[in-house]
Amino acid sequence: MDRRFDALLVIPDDPRADLYRAMRHAAIGGGKRLRPLLTFATARLFGVDRGCVARAATAIEAIHVYSLIHDDLPAMDDDDMRRGKPTVHRVYDEATAILAGDCLHALAFEVMAHEKTHADPFVRAELVVCLAQAAGPAGMGGGQMMDLKAEDARFDLATVTRMQHMKTGALIACAVEAGAILGRLPPDQRTPLRGYARDIGLAFQIADDILDEEGDEALAGKALGKDAAAGKETFLSLMGIDRAREQARMLVDQAIHHLQSYGAEADLLRDIARYVMERDR
């Protein structure tokens, strides 16, 4: 991913240099790269060309990085640290951070729709729709809006679950779906992979809530404990830590169970499901 973003974001010798520096600051060096890994691991089931996968994965990660830049803004979550570095608006300024996010957002779709990503334009168009839905008001954007309202609203478990399916689940699901689209798996055969993605998305978020409570800020590379301090309901506050851990383990088992029709070629997806729960950052 670092090499891909390095090639995509060559700093121009003109007044836009800081815009590119800001995009590079956020996109290069750090991050778990979970979404690109999911696209690789899913596309591997179908023997997709690695160059195609890398482009689609770059587009998806660009959307993820853009969302982190905007979520960290003072008007949003107001975070100073991300991936162990100062956030974009702290290194540059708010205007540059907003524009860097916007530009990564647009670049993601340019990369995805470009003919180099797949020879068949039908595949490219399907990838774009998948990514746009994951990023928009029914996905990440809508989930972040719900999160902003969570301080006042005191959500119940069903609403927190719905919010997290949108906020983090949608793009994780898109990363898996993109692998299936590249593999030309017909939509009616994607049900197990969609179940897998849905389960690990939720397990990922429960693990995030646990790390937010018990994790190490140095390892996480960002401030922790903010949701609890803001009085937001989380899986942890609603279920308690023991039930939350048990629920996450159950989701991981269920995710792996969805892959039963796949052989050893799905072992990477199985490993990712376990990692999602066991990670320390």
The contact set with its own copies (CB under 8 A) reads 14-16, 18-20, 23, 70, 73, 75-76, 93-96, 98-99, 101-103, 105-110, 112-115, 120-122, 124-126, 128-129, 131-133, 135-137, 139, 141-142, 144-146, 148-150, 153, 155, 159, 162-163
Query: What is the secondary structure of 179-200 as a DSSP string?
Result: HHHHTT--GGG-HHHHHHHHHH
Least Å distance, CB 250 to its own copies, is 27
Q: Give the C-alpha separation, 142 to 19, whole Å.
A: 26
Least Å distance, CB 93 to its own copies, is 7
Q: Give the C-alpha separation, 140 to 145, whole Å.
A: 9
Run of H or E including 110: helix 94-113
State which residue, 49 or 120, has the beta carbon closest to its own copies.
120
- Encoded tokens for 168: 């983090």
| Three-class DSSP category at 94 | helix
State which residue, 141 or 192, has the beta carbon closest to its own copies.
141
State which residue, 110 or 267, has the beta carbon closest to its own copies.
110
Locus of tokens 């690695």 = 50
Q: Are 273 and 206 in contact (CB under 8 A)?
A: no
- Encoded tokens for 8: 């995509």
Exposed e or buried b per residue across 122-157, where buried means at least 16 C-beta atoms within 10 angstroms of its C-beta: ebbebbbebbbbbbeeebbbbbbebbeebeeeebee
Least Å distance, CB 31 to its own copies, is 20
State which residue, 97 or 252, has the beta carbon closest to its own copies.
97
Least Å distance, CB 203 to its own copies, is 23
State which residue, 100 or 248, has the beta carbon closest to its own copies.
100
Least Å distance, CB 195 to its own copies, is 24
State which residue, 18 or 217, has the beta carbon closest to its own copies.
18
Least Å distance, CB 12 to its own copies, is 8
State which residue, 24 or 44, has the beta carbon closest to its own copies.
24
- Please, how many CA atoms are within 13 Å of residue 76, restricted to the half-sphere of its CB? 20
Least Å distance, CB 16 to its own copies, is 5
Run of H or E including 81: strand 81-82
If you ran DSSP here, which 8-state letter would residue 154 be given?
-
